[in-house]
Structure 1
């Protein structure tokens, strides 16, 4: 069992269950912050839980030595979280969110899986997105070698391109199947280097992503925020739409479009707008559960 020390505010459970990634599962029903999670990242099965002073974890098949920096990078534990939050505390609503939900981080995911995941998010909900992602892995992904647990890696672009639209429809992707199949073919054929977008400017990366059929402003901003280091990205989904209309635009008589909402939020929250987005999303979604 390995350990990554970490002292800044960090809530593993809230981070993994905040609508960013969809292959993490609780191993038990504990809600005291110590539950184990199992997930698949970068072709490894990872078990992880939060403990005093950091996170305890194991992974297979890669060694702890090789996986430790990957996991630390995935969880973005080297981000200066207190400094990021301090730039957003001028906002009364966010300040309340930070007090109530301490330590929600932005994940740094693999771009291809993130792109497909959020193509599947169109007119969808978290349980169905989760099922879509798991079904694609089970049907088309490569088995993770050297493990007792039967899990598959997320399919490569070539694997999903070979599967094709008809097979994806049979898995229940619906209209999204054609978009996933088309994106897979274009990436497999080398038309796009998704990792290179991490080095691109935000607007250039956004313009590139929306060239994919089925990728609009919301999906592109999700991919930019959760896999491409664009912390200024601000995806506007139904929950963010509700949050902004209720908490910021309640007195406005003008019907504000989602693109205008995104631009307004980026101007207001600046280079860390994505962190504001994640807290507003989490807080507004949980409010309906209370």
Structure 2
């Protein structure tokens, strides 16, 4: 199995990158080692000091897939210098999350992931997404789909028979597999989800979010992926906070400043804002951090979770 190693990395820590709330399909399997599914591929990444090894991976795959995905061509040292000059809180946050990088993720996966993130915590989000992928996701590139055949759903007289994944399919894909990298189904497409009903996703345990996922899938299947903030906000179940996450993590709008419970807490406890003053927080972030608002948000999020 091919591996590729890159050396002399700066401003890069897998622990920081995969634990700052931007992605949900990477799981730590050892010190500095993560297995996960991204960009249609199942890989393991291992960091030792300033070196990173990706397996399986060729140099060409690293340069065309993982270098952009990990945002390795951006000067994060300079970004931290600019932000650290803003105020002491930001300086401490940059130092604490020194190895954070904002991943270049698949937009569709980001949309669904952050719809699922509503009123949820990171372990539950990861569980929901993993069950969803095991239920209706495709096998990774070059791997065989081990799921059991789909089963027919019940239908009213006169209705066409509709095939749904069912609990047996979920068990077959995930039965003897933990979240440790043994098997990672690819993320289901908008077209796949658009053909289902919310109740078909019951085994994934998304709750009320299942309806939003299906409705959004139908919107995207019909009209394509959003290209503007207004189009993001028009998606089912997407409010300002989720929209800002989608803009930042899926559309490279780096001036976005998502305000979740952790960022609201840091703005309240360390910057003195009233907890309900989200409008004031947004205005402050726009004025103080400007085009680097998304990077500032990630440093503050990661820092606040450590306090």
How many angstroms apart in 1 are the aligned matches of 2:111 and 2:34?
23
Alignment of 1:111 with 2:134, yes or no, is no
Aligned to 1:200: none
Aligned to 1:23: 25
Task: Give a deviation string over 1:242-265, Cα, whole Å, max 9, x none.
Answer: 110111125x6xx64323322321
Q: For 2:280, which of 226, 249, 260 is the aligned residue?
A: 260
TM norm structure 1: 0.86
The SS at the match of 1:56 is strand
Cα pair 1:49 1:55 within 8 Å, conserved: yes
Task: Give a deviation string over 1:53-82, Cα, whole Å, max 9, x none.
Answer: 33111137xx55234321111110111111
How many angstroms apart in 1 are the aligned matches of 2:248 and 2:97?
20
Cα pair 2:41 2:141 within 8 Å, conserved: no
Aligned to 2:188: 155
How many angstroms apart in 2 are the aligned matches of 1:48 and 1:170?
30
Q: For 1:51, which of 48, 66, 74 is the aligned residue?
A: 48
Which 5+ residue runs of structure 2 have no aligned equivalent?
145-181
Q: Bigger CA drift: 64-73 or 113-122?
A: 64-73
1:172–1:275 distance in 2 versus 1, CA, 3 Å:
same
How many angstroms apart in 2 are the aligned matches of 1:260 and 1:206?
20
Q: What pairs up with 1:93-242 in 2 under 5 angstroms?
A: 93-147=89-143, 149-189=182-222, 191-194=223-226, 197=227, 205-242=228-265
Q: For 1:248, which of 271, 277, 284 is the aligned residue?
A: 271
Q: For 2:84, which of 69, 73, 89 is the aligned residue?
A: 89
TM norm structure 2: 0.82
1:193–1:100 distance in 2 versus 1, CA, 3 Å:
closer
Which protein has greater RCO, CA pairs closer than 8 Å, 6+ apart?
A: 2
How many angstroms apart in 2 are the aligned matches of 1:163 and 1:102?
42
Shift of residue 4, structure 1, vs aligned partner: 2.4
Task: Give a deviation string over 1:160-218, Cα, whole Å, max 9, x none.
Answer: 112321112342111111110001011112x1334xx3xxxxxxx22210101211111
Task: Give a deviation string over 1:94-126, Cα, whole Å, max 9, x none.
Answer: 111222332211111100000000000111111
Aligned to 1:280: 300
Which 5+ residue runs of structure 1 have no aligned equivalent?
198-204
